[in-house]
Structure 1
Amino acid sequence: MSGQSQPADITFIGSGIACTATLIQLFRKLLNTEQAGNTRPEITVIEKNREFWKGIPYGSRSSVNALTITCVNDFIYEAERPAFFRWFKENQNDWETYYREHGGITAERWLKNNLPLIAKNDWETVYIPRFIFGWYIHNTIAKLHRQIEEKQLAKINLIHAEAIDARVTGNKHYEVKLEHPDKSISYIISRKLVIATGSAVVKPVDEVNAAQVTYINDIYEPSVPLNIEKVKDALTQTDWVENRNVLIIGSNASSIELLYLLEGLPQVNGLINNLVLISPSGALPYHISTETLDEHPTPSLKALQNKGSYNLKTLVDAAAADLQPAIKNGANVAYIATVIGNTLKLMEALGDDAKKEFFGIHGMRLSNMFRRSGPEYKAGSQQLADVRKVSFIKGKFIQMQTRNEGVVLRYEEVSSGTEKTYPLTFKAVINCSGSDNLDRSASPLIYNLVHKKLAAMNLSGKGFEVNEHFEAAPNLYIMGPLLGGNMNKLIHFWHLENASRLMYLAPYLANELLKD
């Protein structure tokens, strides 16, 4: 059992951006009040990886060349921009030198294209390497942490372990079961518990014979650079060039990022005979259109409004129809915002149940229509396509079948519904298909929270149902992507992979955690 003499006041499970953004706000509030003594809270942070405060996207598990999906102005929450831009310029020599030394030809190309834009503060067109934001957020939390401890405003405990289970004690506290790197077990107790574990765990797609194929279930585990090296080794050890094929399952943001990274590694992409992506859409995210339109017509939504009689299904169908011209020549962000804004206005007449269903289910359906990425990502994937390295399958993955030379792909063709076998043998398979529902999660903690009924899934299946205080249960708080699919007075997002949105929500959660 726990060796604690007293329970922690607040415990965070996970130390990525959701936790870090919240603690930054919480520390700032403590420093503004400077009330030490009896009000000094004890805060515990549990992280299963050795690297605290950055999470997967902004730390060492990602690639130094990975970029933000949106431009800097959209990526950084408005209230945080002055501090970030000031730090960015003050530390430019450090991050620029580091990037030149570690980013290879991709970094050289990015610096050549973007340094002139940075000099002009043209933040609408710059997509920064994510490690730079990781440096900023780490620097910010470290500085505040030192100030908090110097002034004895809080006691901070960092634990390197994986939280695998939780239960409510007799006095309504939370007991968390921890598994340490050496597989030993310990327990901690906390009055308030914050689940900030990041995105739901990637779902495995199939069982594979490791002797026949290099299978990577999650490109970020243990890290992108190590996994790319595994792919390189698998291809190098394959004698027949015709069999040096790589299969990517899924065509989401991770997929286009991977293509961008591979394009900048000729020592790897030069080994690839063919790189095949399979997904139901059969296409990568759109590039972001810079076209300025005089108007953003929404005729289908307008027709519903004029009719005055509609339900959720007809509203969603109308929104989907009006999104088509908004993505005709790339994703026009302003046009998309008009369509979604008009959709939400019309939804006001449908009531709370319809709103909850929209945010839990239909919002992601519409969002998948306009998945987008910056110009560098699109250019990288296009470079591979131009040299006929990339093929796309519009299909649903069924299984991988083992052959002596590797594996072959069985899939269902979307257009016909027929099962087919793709006519290539693959030596490496990378799963970018996304996460499973929480009740099937490979995370022991998330699985146990659902099945022990400590927290309930919302309609999306990918997030927990919470109230406007972030609570999935009394004193059990959710922060980060697992908030996606909620609709209440404060939290109304169908997905929360966006750092800006998390920075927006962080002060509200900090207030809740500091309440008695």
Structure 2
Amino acid sequence: MSTKIAFIGAGIATSYTLIPFLDSLTKQKNKPVELYIIDKSADFFKGMPYGDRSGKSVLLIQDLKNFISEPHRTHFKSWLNENIDTLQEEFIQNGGHLAKKWVENNKPIYSKGDWDDLYIPRFFFGKYISREVLNRIEKLSKERLLEVHYIQKETTGISKIKDRFIISFKDGSTLDVDKTILSIGSLPYKRLYEKEIKNPLNALYIKEPYGIGMEENMNRIVDFVKARKERNLKTKVAILGANASGLEMIYKICDKLPKDEFQTSFTTLSSHGVMPDGTIDLEKAKSFRPVHLEALSRISSLSAEMISEAAHKDIDEAENLGIGAATSVGIISRGFGSLLPKLNRDELLNFACFHGNQIGRRQRCAGNHYLSVVEELSRINRFTHLKGRFSSLEENNEGLNLIYKVHDSKNSNNDGHETFNLVVNCLGSVNLSSNDLSPFLQNLIDNGLCKPNPSNIGFHVDESMQASKNLFIAGPLLAGNQIEDKIFWHLEHCIRIIWSSNVLSKNLWASLTEKVAV
């Protein structure tokens, strides 16, 4: 009898767990395995960022050398060289003038096979990684070592009866399996505004960039802006959040609606009031030293809070010297990274749960292909950045009135407000203690199968990456844990997902023969 294993969520954490797992199955040829790949979308093995929901004209937020680790990068580049003609044609067909510009600027580089410094279209990677998984599945299926079932449904709950998992779906059906891997990606977006728009000519709210799909959202935005232009109405756009998805929305809107033709203005709102940085100053990088972190190297007994305080002081110093995040991030990261081995396990987890993300939020970086659009909008006085925290949205006669908290020098909060026509929520995700947590995640917590760790953005796992016996966690929900000798305060980057998924694959394989993973 075969072992039945369900993967809930079919993004790249699932892909990079399956690749080494299926390679092990090819070599060792144990008893047959039956896989159930479950996702509410059709982007199997690509996931939201690299599949159809993100569209085919958005780019990586990192250059390729910082996006994917070796030996995977070399293999990916070989695939790119073989398929680039078809890929670039598809990219141009689905993009606008900025997509054509990307090809014109970068074709002389990638035609020579030089990919490492490029911010490539994300769907390139989605096509590649799904093919890597499917090739293995097809081979093992022919050898009758593997049977795979694809289930495109929304999962609503998991229960455990003795040693079996019963997975429930929105349509009322269920599935009975031996092992489950929870790999659903990042937590759901915050719900900021749920009222019905009364005047669709003056107001449009996009509740999240990718939920229904980037392209569908873009179609709604294009129709809205064009309808306003026909009546000689300018469109004020508010992007809530200065993160990767916020930059992508600005880039996409300007790609589809060229700024010279459409009178759109843009405003972002973020708590730090700073846009990501994309320019490395090599001279300043040579002279800048994280003196506060370096001072801790002479102290034998450290706490996570001491390291965090020193890192923030060094970031303050960098900002005072006019040194951006792109220049300082590597220096600061190496500075606190060298100190982490001095922490005991409890303090390491303290850093992972409470401090790592706070440092990271102050050191956001992005490619200049996105930032150049913002710079051009700023040059023509059509971009502003508000420093504040979102409070509420209310529709009025002119659009959506954005109310936000402004922290002033007197240590108190004042309300700021401004009316916009188009508001896009890119403020990020809920946490595991939120009142509006999805019923599925709440079910996992309520029935005791998963327990939030102190970070409240990830589930506690044991040394085998199990939230409970035979329920494994993959991807972003591993935040706030130590895996082998590494701690993770977030797992949004592909390199971290590849590494952790490879460890998970070994643990999953060991569990098939009831071995204890080390």
Same fold (TM over 0.5): yes
Alpha-carbon distance in 2 for matches of 1:307, 1:186? 58
Match of 1:394 among 387, 390, 393: 387
Amino acid at match of 2:90: Y
Amino acid at match of 2:190: K
Equivalent residue, structure 2, for 1:142: 134
Q: Is the Cα contact below 8 Å between 2:277 and 2:326 reproduced in 1?
A: no
Residue 26 and residue 310 in structure 1: after superposition, are their counterparts in 2 closer, same or farther (change >3 A)? Answer: closer
Are residues 1:189 and 2:193 paired?
A: no
Match of 1:31 among 7, 12, 26: 26
Equivalent residue, structure 1, for 2:164: 173
Q: Which residues of 2 match residues 440-451 of structure 1 at below 5 A?
A: 440=434, 442-451=437-446
Alpha-carbon distance in 1 for matches of 2:249, 2:487? 30
Are residues 1:411 and 2:404 paired?
A: yes
Are residues 1:226 and 2:216 paired?
A: yes
Q: Is the Cα contact below 8 Å between 2:353 and 2:455 reproduced in 1?
A: yes
1:61 Cα deviation from its structure 2 partner = 0.8
Match of 2:235 among 241, 244, 258: 244
Q: Which deviations, in whole Å up to 9, do the C-alpha atoms of 1:450-487 show, x marking residues without a partner?
A: 23221111222111111231111111111011112212
Match of 1:438 among 432, 436, 439: 432
Match of 1:283 among 274, 298, 315: 274
Are residues 1:198 and 2:185 paired?
A: yes
Q: Which residues of 2 match residues 7-46 of structure 1 at below 5 A?
A: 9-35=4-30, 39-46=31-38
SS of match in other structure, 1:413: strand
Alpha-carbon distance in 2 for matches of 1:31, 1:111? 39
1:272 Cα deviation from its structure 2 partner = 4.3
Alpha-carbon distance in 2 for matches of 1:58, 1:488? 26
Alpha-carbon distance in 1 for matches of 2:288, 2:453? 33
Q: Is the Cα contact below 8 Å between 1:263 and 1:269 reproduced in 2?
A: no
Give structure 2 stretches of 5+ with no counterpart.
Answer: 513-518
Match of 2:44 among 45, 48, 52: 52
Alpha-carbon distance in 1 for matches of 2:503, 2:305? 33
Equivalent residue, structure 2, for 1:235: 225
Match of 1:375 among 359, 363, 368: 368
Equivalent residue, structure 2, for 1:93: 85
Residue 309 and residue 21 in structure 1: after superposition, are their counterparts in 2 closer, same or farther (change >3 A)? Answer: closer
- TM (normalized to structure 1)? 0.91
Residue 288 and residue 156 in structure 1: after superposition, are their counterparts in 2 closer, same or farther (change >3 A)? Answer: farther
Alpha-carbon distance in 1 for matches of 2:32, 2:179? 15
Alpha-carbon distance in 1 for matches of 2:260, 2:462? 48
Q: Which deviations, in whole Å up to 9, do the C-alpha atoms of 1:29-74 show, x marking residues without a partner?
A: 2122344xxx001111111012312111111111322111111112
Equivalent residue, structure 2, for 1:505: 500
SS of match in other structure, 1:61: helix
1:305 Cα deviation from its structure 2 partner = 3.3
1:342 Cα deviation from its structure 2 partner = 3.0
Equivalent residue, structure 1, for 2:350: 357
1:130 Cα deviation from its structure 2 partner = 0.4
Q: Is the Cα contact below 8 Å between 1:291 and 1:332 reproduced in 2?
A: no
Are residues 1:456 and 2:443 paired?
A: no
Which of 265-274 and 358-367 deviates more? 265-274
Q: Which deviations, in whole Å up to 9, do the C-alpha atoms of 1:81-103 show, x marking residues without a partner?
A: 22211111111111122223222
Residue 506 and residue 252 in structure 1: after superposition, are their counterparts in 2 closer, same or farther (change >3 A)? Answer: same
1:231 Cα deviation from its structure 2 partner = 2.0
**Percent of residue pairs identical:** 29
Q: Is the Cα contact below 8 Å between 2:156 and 2:440 reproduced in 1?
A: yes
1:407 Cα deviation from its structure 2 partner = 1.9
Alpha-carbon distance in 2 for matches of 1:341, 1:401? 44
